[in-house]
């Protein structure tokens, strides 16, 4: 329920264009789900009031986090909540 509520309150829009580099952003991790197809974790978060997600080799915990650096991989809609979502890769996150 907390995830749905946060997703509803997130603004529409993206964090950047494909290929943009992002640095030093505060985020709130909403959901951490073990991937069924890959060796890793799918992370869903709110950054600057916008939805973002990425795959991580290490399991992060729900709650506050800092994105040290990342690259915008794609823009699209969240598969579950239907909101605009920025897909990231090459993410270095610190908790």
pLDDT in tens, 55-84: 999 999 999 999 999 999 999 998 887 889
pLDDT score recorded for residue 65: 94
Q: Whole-angstrom Cα distance, residue 45 to residue 19? A: 19
- The kind and range of the H/E element at 11 are none
Q: pTM for this one? A: 0.88
pLDDT score recorded for residue 68: 96
**Partners of residue 76 on adjacent β-strands:** 85
pLDDT score recorded for residue 2: 77
């Amino acid at each position: 329920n907390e995830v749905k509520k946060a997703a509803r309150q997130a603004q529409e829009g993206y964090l950047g264009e494909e290929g943009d580099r992002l640095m030093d952003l505060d985020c709130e991790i909403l959901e951490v789900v073990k991937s069924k197809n890959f060796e890793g974790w799918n992370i869903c978060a709110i950054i600057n009031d916008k939805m973002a997600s990425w795959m991580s080799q290490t399991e992060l915990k729900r709650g506050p986090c800092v994105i040290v650096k990342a690259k915008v991989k794609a823009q699209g809609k969240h598969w579950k909540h239907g909101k605009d979502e920025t897909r990231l890769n090459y993410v270095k996150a610190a908790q």
